[in-house]
Amino acid sequence: MKFKKHKNRFIRHSLSAPFIYSMIVPLIILDLWIEVYHRVCFAAYGISYVKRSAYIKIDRHKLEYLNFFEKINCVYCGYANGLLQYSCVIAGETEKYWCGIKHKSDGIFIEPQHHKDFIPYGDKESYLNLEK
């Protein structure tokens, strides 16, 4: 909680809060859309559902030692970060279903964990053998 070390940044923190909290609108839209996609498409493809509660956890607001604003921040962060992780897992499962080919290595791209079993970029033979 680095912000506690910067009490002199109260105005800066207060001015940035509307930008942070304005993200709730696109997050809710993402949440609704990803859930509809998840339920419809995963059922159609025979992919197992991703367990939402494994990624979105909202519990830190119950800590008595946090003040009101810290509790609100904890609810927001638990939801926002959990939703984004949940969405990434859904996207990753979709990618595993539709495209199991690694990206070309460029030394910059950080390969996601779910790419570990993908076929190497440019491996035409392995790709063509998938149908066999």
Instruction: Tell me, yes or no, if the pTM score tops 0.85.
Output: yes
Locate 95 and state its tokens: 């990618």
Which pLDDT value is given to residue 10? 81
d(Cα 91, Cα 96) in Å, to the nearest integer? 9
Q: Give dist(CA 121, CA 132) in Å, integer.
A: 19
Backbone angles phi, psi at 23, to 5 degrees: -70, -10
Over its length of 132 residues, how does the chain's per-residue pLDDT go in tens digits?
666 666 767 888 889 889 999 999 999 999 999 999 999 999 999 999 999 999 999 999 999 999 999 999 999 999 999 999 999 999 999 999 999 999 998 989 999 999 999 999 999 999 998 876
- In 3D space, the residue among 49, 43, 12 whose CA is nearest the CA of residue 2 turns out to be 12
Q: Is residue 30 exposed (0-12), middle (13-18) or buried (19+ Cβ within 10 Å)?
A: middle
